[in-house]
Amino acid sequence: MSKIEINNIYKIFGNKPDSIMPMVQDGATKDEVLEQTGHTVGLDNVSLNIEEGETFVCMGLSGSGKSTLIRHLNRLIDPTAGEILIDGENVMSFNPEQLIDFRRHKMSMVFQRFGLFPHKTVMQNVGYGLEMQGKSEEERDKVAMEKIEAVGLNGFENQFPNQLSGGMQQRVGLARALATNSDIMLMDEAFSALDPLIRSDMQKQLIDLQSELKKTIVFITHDLDESLRLGDHIGILNAGKLVQVGTPVDIIMNPADDYVKAFVKDVNRAKVIKAKIIMTNANETNGIDKSNLVKVNEDQFIEEFLPQIVCTNANCEVVDKSGNTKGYITNKELQSSLTKS
Ligand SMILES: Nc1ncnc2c1ncn2[C@@H]1O[C@H](COP(=O)(O)OP(=O)(O)O)[C@@H](O)[C@H]1O
Ligand SMILES: [Mg+2]
């Protein structure tokens, strides 16, 4: 069973969405529907599965339907047609109390504009979700402090948001989402408002946190590099249609159409592909020469170890955080992963 299952979701915005459904199902495009009926197609027959513990990135140009999709997951939006199952449960079947409980415990959200309370301290902001869960102040502060440390903000717990930089404010947002211990985290353009260097730091931090936490993360972005860095799988939306779902390597190597091709054209592969993405699993590599191995972490990007591998002509042994061997990348595979088109 997938953690999140989205089956044939349509979302049409306008006065009479149901009456427009036949036209959309007959294949009318978003532009045609808008011109002829004044309705906007938000999502057009989107189906996808998101597995427990993965980071699923939903990517597409502005207006392609990314926010509409993510808002279906916590039922900020109801679909015109189709179903959403989370842990096998149809979210449309929840009564109001179940829905509140579901939003408080199962999912947390990180917003693009941080969404912090200006008059609450960092500690109070981070503990907010726990307050909603009815936890005591003592417990809130204890968990909040843990999460503040996890995002590298110790010492700032009694500051107010406007005393912090944008990057730090988003760390507070991230800590707040982590504090409720929900198993699903929704992040809608969470890093898009940050300067490039800070953004890159936040991506790295999320990858580090996720390698321990293994939450199910649905991350939205219009930035291909970001989606390739973060995503175990990436779904690409164009005008409400899901045009491709795949691993970062699938997307780069086999773009499904011209829209995806235009995205991947200029990508720097070494910057966005992680060791684990191109490794061959340990149990399938009997033939590999293990005399000259360099250990690399599964979550390292190719650019971080490429020079060493090229200089020493070594093969890579890919290990996890605890040093267990997960797989291997031969020198040859490494080089061809960078040049194949
Ligand atoms: N509440 C709404 N009412 C009418 N149209 C909407 C509404 N929300 C989104 N849309 C339209 O649906 C499409 C997808 O929007 P959105 O999901 O916000 O895109 P993205 O997040 O990818 O930028 C856009 O054409 C947008 O104008
Ligand atoms: Mg959006």
Per-residue pLDDT of the chain (341 residues; tens, 9 = 90+): 999 999 999 999 999 999 999 999 999 999 999 999 999 999 999 999 999 999 999 999 999 999 999 999 999 999 999 999 999 999 999 999 999 999 989 999 998 888 899 999 999 999 999 999 999 999 999 999 999 999 999 999 999 999 999 999 999 999 999 999 999 999 999 999 899 999 999 999 999 999 889 999 999 999 999 999 999 999 999 999 999 999 998 998 899 999 999 999 888 888 888 899 889 998 887 678 888 899 999 999 999 999 888 888 899 999 999 999 999 999 888 888 787 55
How much distance in Å is there from the Cα of 282 to the middle of ligand 2? 40
**Same domain as 219, residue 281:** no
**Same domain as 286, residue 191:** no
- Whole-Å CA distances, 225 to 91, 265, 296: 32, 11, 21
Pairwise CA distance, residues 177 & 142, whole Å: 15
**Same domain as 282, residue 259:** no
Q: Is 15 in the pocket of ligand 1 (CB under 6 A)?
A: no
Q: Which domain holds residue 101?
A: 4-106+182-267
Count structural domains, the chain.
2
**Same domain as 285, residue 260:** no
**Same domain as 314, residue 188:** no
One-letter amino acid at 322 equals S
**Same domain as 10, residue 94:** yes
CATH number at residue 333: 3.10.580.10
Q: Which atom of ligand 1 is nearest to the CA of 11?
A: 12
**Same domain as 317, residue 246:** no
Q: Whose CA is nearest to atom 20 of ligand 1?
A: 63
Dmax over Cα atoms in the chain, in whole Å?
Answer: 68
Which of 223, 240, 267 represents a domain boundary (last residue)?
267
Best mutation site among 9, 39, 40 for ligand 1, i.e. most ligand atoms within 8 A of its Cβ?
A: 40
Q: Is 60 in the pocket of ligand 1 (CB under 6 A)?
A: yes
Neighbours of 65 (CB within 10 A): 25
**Same domain as 190, residue 329:** no
One-letter amino acid at 84 equals I
**Same domain as 193, residue 92:** yes
Residue 174 lies in a domain: no
Pairwise CA distance, residues 231 & 331, whole Å: 24
CATH number at residue 252: 3.40.50.300
Nearest to 213 by CA among 52, 89, 85, 325: 52
Q: Is 61 in the pocket of ligand 1 (CB under 6 A)?
A: no
Residue 283 lies in a domain: yes
**Same domain as 197, residue 49:** yes
How much distance in Å is there from the Cα of 85 to the middle of ligand 2? 22
The contacts found for 310-319 with CB under 8 angstroms, 24 or more apart, are 310/335, 315/288, 315/289, 315/290, 316/275, 316/279, 317/290, 317/293, 318/275, 318/276, 318/279, 319/295
